[in-house]
Structure 1
Amino acid sequence: MKQFFSLVAVALLGSAAWGQTMVTLTVDMTNEMVSADGVHVAGNFQGWDPGATPMTDNMDGTWSYSFSSDTAATYQYKFINGN
């Protein structure tokens, strides 16, 4: 019986992971003077805190930020030059 419950728990945890996907937000800053503080993103996925989520400089004029998300989620966000 204990093995059955363990199997059910693993199955439930595994099915929760199936509803996840990686989201990548990318902004092209090629024609912008980027702040010394870098580029950040704020949105409803992180509490709209403009300084909390720095983006990665891709060294080609674009900046990106990736995070794991529920596949059914909808997000609002803004890119911020600086913080």
Structure 2
Amino acid sequence: MNAFDLTGKLAVVTGARRGIGRAMARALAEAGADVIGVSASLEESGSAVEKDVTAAGRTFEAIRTDFADPEAVRALGENLA
């Protein structure tokens, strides 16, 4: 039994384009979660993180959001609700 089974869950990962965020998106997908990746500079499709997540057999959605813009963060929250 996998102690970290996220099958059927949806994970939202900020900073998903690179570094720790990309690694977290990949790990969450490998644990069974579908992933919404959020970053100010994330490509809408074809990104490396999308390829990582889909290679793990999970779905990926990219959302561009600049966390320095309060209105953009508010809109993200409304879209995810």
State the TM-score bracket (shorter-chain normalisation).
under 0.3
Q: What TM-score comes out, normalization by structure 1 length?
A: 0.22
* Structure with greater proportional strand content: 1
Specify the structure having the higher radius of gyration (Cα). 1
Q: What TM-score comes out, normalization by structure 2 length?
A: 0.22
Higher relative contact order (CA 8 A, sep 6+): 1
* Structure with greater proportional helix content: 2
